[in-house]
């Protein structure tokens, strides 16, 4: 391991990243709270400001992937579709197989300049989590309870509100409902779709009738296409968040197919069959990748933008000096109680970092598929 690699693996560096992320995140959440005053006055200004505040948080994680880790991502796509990426709102259907696939989805959004406004379908509990969850709340993220019958109305109403969103965005969904494991994959084949793209379509401007399924064009006026994305890593790499934090470089391949929204069936049953077929095709692409080491279509590398790094350097320069000055004063005081407090804080921070990494482990996916599968068997 070279000197730079050794430095990146040091826990002190990890604590610096966590401190900057947590401190800046709480500051941004506070600013977001005050922007609520703008909502009744100028809703679109509120949205634009929160898109940029959101970028200040989410771009720090993308910075770790692109600049600290140096992970490379090659996009395989139709050259005719490539110029449209980032110029239109799109539903991005991702496979959920690796620990860092959500980061790769965010990196895709960042490379095409839509990270700040991009959305995900997230568990409702995350709305109460400081920094990420609160940031998502202010950017009108779509939260679900993981009980689709209850989520239909909520998702429809949330998506309706996004039709006049002033910023371009990707709406990232994982239709399998959890990260990939062999057991989860078999279950997900039975319960797909968690949310089908037909739920994002609507023939008119009026909301669907009360209590009806969100089946016809909720985003017809705003979304132009579905991007079917299939991710894998070269050389049988198994990327982890801890590896990214340690500065390990991964090599990703992402196959992106642009599907115009009008090609997605509007009927819910037909769309369910369409989505099932889509995932069968994704499985076939994965098998072909394992055989050949590449995806179809033309490989392209979107340029890495400097803004994620500039954003992190800004927050680091703003927050690290007072932090280290505080630590220096605390240690130089020579008080046993002060030193003991410092060791305790260091230990708690260490456990916090390990916990945040631990919750991303691939075998700790949600039980969403299991619950739905059990309910179906009971019925």
In the predicted structure, residue 379 carries a pLDDT above the cut 60:
no
More confident residue, 159 or 117: 117
Are 220 and 261 within 8 A, CB to CB?
A: yes
Question: Could you report the per-residue pLDDT of 228-257, keeping only the tens digit for each?
Answer: 999 999 988 999 988 999 999 999 999 999
pLDDT recorded at residue 357: 53
State the average pLDDT for the chain. Answer: 79
Q: Among the listed ranges 144-148, 168-172, 249-253, which one has the minimum average pLDDT value?
A: 144-148
Q: CB–CB of 77/256 below 8 Å?
A: yes
Q: Is residue 337 part of a domain?
A: no
* Rg, Å, the chain Cα set: 22
Which pLDDT tens digit goes with each residue over 343-373? Answer: 776 667 666 655 555 544 444 444 444 444 4
Domain limits at 276? 3-191+201-307
Predicted pLDDT at 185: 47
| 290-to-73, 113, 233, 287 alpha-carbon distances in Å | 17, 31, 10, 5
User: Which of residues 316 and 351 earns the better pLDDT score?
Assistant: 316
Render pLDDT for 24-52 as a digit per residue (tens, 0 to 9).
999 999 999 999 999 999 999 999 999 99
Q: How confident is the model at residue 5 (pLDDT cuts 50, 70, 90)?
A: confident
Beta-carbon contacts of 271 under 8 Å, excluding residues fewer than 6 positions away, are: 193, 196, 197, 198, 215, 264, 265
pLDDT at 322: 87
Structure tokens at 326: 């505080």
Q: Does 127 or 334 have the greater pLDDT score? A: 127
**Res 214: pLDDT:** 40
- d(Cα 223, Cα 234) in Å, to the nearest integer? 32
Distance CA 219, CA 198 (A): 10
Sheet with 89-94: list strands edge to edge: 142-144, 119-123, 170-173, 89-94, 223-233, 251-260, 72-77, 298-300
For range 14-27, the mean pLDDT: 90
Residue 56 confidence (pLDDT): 96
pLDDT at 221: 63
Model's pTM, two decimal places?
A: 0.81
CATH of the domain at 294: 3.40.1130
pLDDT confidence of residue 153: 73
Q: What is the pLDDT of residue 249?
A: 94
* Three-state SS letters, the chain: CCHHHHHHCCHHHHHHHHHHHHHHHHHHHHHHHHHHHHCCCCHHHHHHHHHHHHHHHHHHHHHHHHHHCCCEEEEEECCCCHHHCCCCEEEEEECCCCCCHHHHHHHHHHHCCCCCCCEEEEEHHHHHCCCHHHHHHHCCCEEECCCHHHHHHHHHHHHHHCCCCCCCCEEEECCCCCCCCHHHHHHHHHHCCCCCHHHHECCCCCCCCCCCCCCCCECCCCEEEEEEEEEEEHHHCCCCHHHHHCCCCCEEEEEEEEEEHHHCCCCHHHHHHHHHHHHHHHHHHHHHHHHHCCCCCEEECCCCCCHHHHHHHHHHHHHHHHHHHHHHHHHHCCCHHHHHHHHHHHHHHHHHHHHHHHCCCHHHCCCHHHHHHHHHHHC
**Contact in structure between 118 and 59 (CB atoms under 8 Å):** no
pLDDT above 50 for 216: no
Say what percent of the chain tops pLDDT 90. Answer: 43
Tell whether 365 is covered by a domain: no
Higher pLDDT, 328 or 260: 260
Domain count, the chain: 1
Q: What is the pLDDT of residues 76-131, one digit of tens each?
A: 999 999 999 999 999 898 887 888 888 999 999 999 999 999 998 888 888 888 88
Q: Which residues contact 357 (CB under 8 A, 6 or more apart)?
A: 240, 241, 242, 245
Lowest-confidence region among 36-45, 138-147, 167-176, 190-199: 190-199
Contact between 116 and 55 under an 8 Å Cβ cutoff? The reply is yes
Q: Which residues contact 352 (CB under 8 A, 6 or more apart)?
A: 18
């Amino acid at each position: 391991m070279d000197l730079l690699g050794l430095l990146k693996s040091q826990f002190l560096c990890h604590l610096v990243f966590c401190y900057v992320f947590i401190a800046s995140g709480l500051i941004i959440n506070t600013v977001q709270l005050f922007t609520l005053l703008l909502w009744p006055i100028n809703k679109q200004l509120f949205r634009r400001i929160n898109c940029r505040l959101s970028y200040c948080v989410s771009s720090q994680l993308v910075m770790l992937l692109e600049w600290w880790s140096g992970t490379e991502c090659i996009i395989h796509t139709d050259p005719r579709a490539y110029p449209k990426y980032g110029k239109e709102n799109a539903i991005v259907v991702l496979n959920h197989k690796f620990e860092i696939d959500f980061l790769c989805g965010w990196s895709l959004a960042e490379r095409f300049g839509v990270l700040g406004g991009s959305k995900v379908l997230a568990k409702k509990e995350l709305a109460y989590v400081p920094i990420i969850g609160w940031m998502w709340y202010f950017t009108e993220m779509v939260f679900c309870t993981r009980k689709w019958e209850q989520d239909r109305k909520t998702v429809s109403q949330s998506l309706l509100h996004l039709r006049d969103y002033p910023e371009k965005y990707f709406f990232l969904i994982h239709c399998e409902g959890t990260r990939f494991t062999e057991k989860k994959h078999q279950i997900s084949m039975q319960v797909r779709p968690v949310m089908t793209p037909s739920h994002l379509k609507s023939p008119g401007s009026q909301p669907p009738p009360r209590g009806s399924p969100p089946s016809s064009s909720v985003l017809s006026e705003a979304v132009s296409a579905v991007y079917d994305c299939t991710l894998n890593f070269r050389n049988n790499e198994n990327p982890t968040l801890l590896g990214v934090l340690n500065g390990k470089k991964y090599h990703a391949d992402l196959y992106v197919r642009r599907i115009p929204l009008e090609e997605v069936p509007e009927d819910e049953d037909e769309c369910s069959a369409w989505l099932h077929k889509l995932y069968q095709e994704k499985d076939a692409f994965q098998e072909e990748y394992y055989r050949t080491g590449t995806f179809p279509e033309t490989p392209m590398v979107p340029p890495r933008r400097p803004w994620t790094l500039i954003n992190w350097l800004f927050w680091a320069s703003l927050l690290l000096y007072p932090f280290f000055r505080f630590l220096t004063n605390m240690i130089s005081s020579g008080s046993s109680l002060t030193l003991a407090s410092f060791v305790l804080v260091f230990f708690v921070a260490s456990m916090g970092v390990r916990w945040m990494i631990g919750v991303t482990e691939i075998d700790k996916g949600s039980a969403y598929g299991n619950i739905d599968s059990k309910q179906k068997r009971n019925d």
